[in-house]
Amino acid sequence: MAAAGVSSTRTLRTLRTVRILLSPLRAPIPNRTGPLRLLSSLPPPGTWTSELSRLPHRDLHRLSVTDPDQFWGAAAADRLRWMKPFERVQDCDLNRGKINWFPGGRINVSVNCLDVHVETHPDRAALIWERDEPGTEVRVTYRELLEMTCRLANTLKAHGVQKGDRVAVYLPTSPLAVAAMLACARIGAVHTVVFAGFSAEALAGRIQDAECKVVLTCDETVRGGRSVPLKATVDAAVRSCPSVRHVLVSRRTDGGATAAAVGPLDVPLEEAMKAAAPVCPAEALDSEDPLFLLYTSGSTGRPKGLVHSQAGYLLYTSLTHQYVFDHRDGDVFGCVADIGWITGHSYVVYGPLCNGATTVLFESTPVYPNPGRYWEMVQRLRVSQFYGAPTALRLLLSYDDSWVKKYDRSSLRTLGSVGEPINHEAWHWFHDVVGEGRCPLVDTWWQTETGGICIAPRPAEEGAPVVPAMAMRPFFGIEPVLMGEQGQPLSGQSVDGALCLARPWPGMARSIFRDHQRFIETYFTPYPGCYFTGDGAWRSEDGFYQITGRMDDVINVSGHRLGTAEVEDALDEHPAVPESAVVGFPHPIKGEVPFAFVVLKDDLGSPPAVLRQLRELVATKIAKYAVPEHFLVVERLPKTRSGKIMRRVLRKVATEATGDLGDLSTLDDPSVVQEIIQAHRRYREQHRKS
C-alpha cells in the first residue's frame, strides 16, 4: 500500500493542524457518577427526546459503543412509531451473518415516512421535484404524497402484488418513483430500483434474479434536454423475464408517439391509480421483513442483490440524516443522487422523509443548461444541505467560479460529499468557493451494504469548529478496526489496514438475495467476527480515519461502483475475444475509468472494427459508463501458475509505474510482462499521434 502511505503523510499533516485548531475549543467530558442508565427493560416511548437527545454528542457516541442496546433501544422506541413494541434490541452473530434488530417488533416504514407527518404538518412539501428544465419544479406535500402512495399501493394489490413479492422500479428520480418505493413498503412488497441508465440486459438480469412480478416504468424521461426512452428498454428486458405479469407504465411526456406500443403486459398507470382508492391500510411488518433489494457490483460474478430490512434501516438512515447533516425542522435537503443508488434510497427518500424534511428530487445533470445549475437551484429552492459526488465537483471546478458566485448560497448550512475519495482541490473548491468557507463539509464514507453513513466528520458535535479537511470519525454505534496482513487487528495510531466494522449496527444489509452463503463468505469470513468493507483505511495519530480505496477488483467510475469482472464477462462474450482483463485507470474528472487488456483471435475481423463492437457490447450489456476508455490488444495476459490473472501488474503497466512491479515469482511465464509493457508503449505512441 505504497500509494496510501504517501497520501497518509499528507493527511497526517492536515490532521495535526486540525488538532491544533480543535484543542482550545474542546469541551471537557462531564464527570458522571455511575454508569448512564436510561432504560430499565423495554425502552419507554419518549426516552430519546426527553433524555438521550439532550446528552452531548460525545456522550451519545460513548453510550452507543459502551451500551449499544440501551442506545439503540431508546433511539428506536422514541424515533419510530411501532405497531407492536419490539421484545429485544438485537440478536446478532456476525460469524454466522445473523443480523437481527428489534425482534418481535411490528412496524410500517411508509407510516413513519408519511402518516406521522400528515398528522402534524400535512401541507409541508415532502418533495421538491427539480425537473430537467430549471424553474419547472413541482412541490408535493406530505398529504399529497400519502394519497399518491396509497393509490399506487392499491394499484399494486389490484395487480396481484402481495407481501414479500418483488417489484422492479425503472424510473427517473421523481415523485412517482418515491411513491412506488413507499407503496411497496406500505403493503410489504419488496422494491428493487434499477438505475434508469442501465441497459435492457442489465435490467433483465436484475428482474430475473429478483423474480419480479411487476415492473413500474414510464414512457420516456428527459435528462440534460435529451429524451431517454425507458419503456422501450423495459420492453426489451421483459421478453426474457417470465416472472413479470404486468408492466405499469406512467405517461411522463406528451410525446405519445415515442412511447412504445402497448403490449399485453402493459397497464396505463395514471388511469389505474385514478380508479384506485386513495386510502390503503398499512401492513404491520416484522422488523426484519425485507424492505428492498438493491443490486451492487462485487469483485466477482454478477451484481448481487443486497437485502435491507425495515426498522433498523429506517432508524439508521433517519439518525444519520439528522446528526451528520445537522438537519433541523424546515430545512430543504438537497441530495442530488439518483434514486437508483443507495445514496438516493437513504438520503433522498428514507432518512429525510422519516425526519419530516423537505427533500429535493434532482432529475437533471450538473451542467444542464450550464455549469451553474446546482447553485441556481440552491438559490431558487433555498437548499439548506447540499450532498453530492466528487466527480461532479471536479467537473464543475474546471469552469469559472462566476458560475457559482452569481447565485445566492446563503441558505446553505452543511455540504456533503459521498461515493469516492474527495481530492484536496475539489474539497477546497467545494468548501471555500461554494460554501464561502462558512459551511462544514462532511466527507461521508459508507456503502450499499452499510445502509447509511458509517464514518464522517461530526460538525454538530459540541465545540467542533468549522475547519478545512474535517476528519472522519465513526458514527454512533460504529466501531472501525483496521486489520493487518496476517488478519490481526492493528492497535494504535498512524496505521493502515483493511477496514472492518467490529460490531453490528441497525442499518447494515441482512443478506444477499437467495445467496446467504455468498453474503457470509464475502463480508464475514475474511475477518471472522467482523464485517469486512473491501476498503483500506488509514488511522491518524489522533484516531481519525481516511479511506485509501478499494482492496479488491471493484472500481469507481464517476461515483458508479463497477466490478471489473462484469466488464470482462461482457468483453469475453465477443467471439474474437478469448480472454480479457480490466483494471481501474485514474481519470481527472471521473476518478477512475476501465482500462481493458484484450487478447484477440487474429482470424476474426480487423482490430478497429472489433474494438468498436466491444464498446457497443459493454454499453448494451451493462451501461455506458462501464465502457472502457482504453483498449490495449495483447498476445497474452500475465497469469500465475494456478491460472489467476495478475491484475496488479496490469494496473502498473497502465499507469506506467513499472519501476517496481513487485513479486513476479508466481507468474507462469514472467516474459509476458515485458511483452505487455512493449505493447503499451506502442499504444501510448499511437495515442499521442492521434
Residue 525 to residue 686: CA distance in whole angstroms = 46
Identify which of residues 532 and 631 has a Cβ nearer to ligand 7RM in the complex.
532
Could you say which of 217, 447, 540, 558 contacts ligand 7RM (CB under 6 A)? 447
Could you say which of 108, 173, 287, 444 contacts ligand 7RM (CB under 6 A)? 444
Identify which of residues 102 and 446 has a Cβ nearer to ligand 7RM in the complex.
446
544-573 positions binding ligand 7RM, by CB under 6 A: 547, 550, 556, 561
Could you say which of 8, 217, 296, 522 contacts ligand 7RM (CB under 6 A)? 296
Total binding residues toward ligand 7RM, as defined by CB under 6 A? 21
CB 595 within 8 A of CB 586: no
Shortest distance (Å) from residue 476 CB to ligand 7RM: 18
Identify which of residues 456 and 645 has a Cβ nearer to ligand 7RM in the complex.
456
Shortest distance (Å) from residue 297 CB to ligand 7RM: 8
Shortest distance (Å) from residue 472 CB to ligand 7RM: 8
Could you say which of 90, 287, 448, 558 contacts ligand 7RM (CB under 6 A)? 448
Identify which of residues 235 and 338 has a Cβ nearer to ligand 7RM in the complex.
338
Could you say which of 45, 56, 197, 421 contacts ligand 7RM (CB under 6 A)? 421
Identify which of residues 310 and 447 has a Cβ nearer to ligand 7RM in the complex.
447
**Which residues touch 354 (CB under 8 Å, ≥6 apart)?**
79, 80, 109, 112, 113, 314, 317, 318, 321
Closest among 577, 579, 568 to 602, alpha carbons compared:
577
Residue 157 to residue 151: CA distance in whole angstroms = 10
Report if residue 324 touches ligand 7RM, rule: CB under 6 A: no
Considering only the stretches 4-12, 75-83, 126-134, 531-539, report the one whose residues sit in contact with ligand 7RM under the rule CB under 6 A: 531-539
Report if residue 519 touches ligand 7RM, rule: CB under 6 A: no
Report if residue 446 touches ligand 7RM, rule: CB under 6 A: yes
142-181 positions binding ligand 7RM, by CB under 6 A: none
What are the grid coordinates assigned to 544, written together?
481519525
CB 419 within 8 A of CB 447: no
325-354 positions binding ligand 7RM, by CB under 6 A: 341-343
Residue 450 to residue 531: CA distance in whole angstroms = 10
Report if residue 534 touches ligand 7RM, rule: CB under 6 A: yes
- Where are any strands of DSSP class E within 401-530? 414-418, 441-444, 455-456, 473-474, 480-483, 495-501, 511-512
Report if residue 204 touches ligand 7RM, rule: CB under 6 A: no
Residue 572 to residue 409: CA distance in whole angstroms = 49
Q: Is the peptide bond before 369 cis (omega within 30 degrees of 0)?
A: yes
Residue 500 to residue 23: CA distance in whole angstroms = 29
Residue 383 to residue 392: CA distance in whole angstroms = 18
Cross-strand pairs, 82: 107
Which residue number is nearest to ligand 7RM in terms of Cβ? 448
Pairing of strands 166-170, 190-193: parallel
Identify which of residues 89 and 547 has a Cβ nearer to ligand 7RM in the complex.
547
Residue 685 to residue 674: CA distance in whole angstroms = 17
Query: Where does this chain bind ligand 7RM (CB under 6 A)?
Result: 296, 341-343, 418-421, 443-448, 533-535, 547, 550, 556, 561
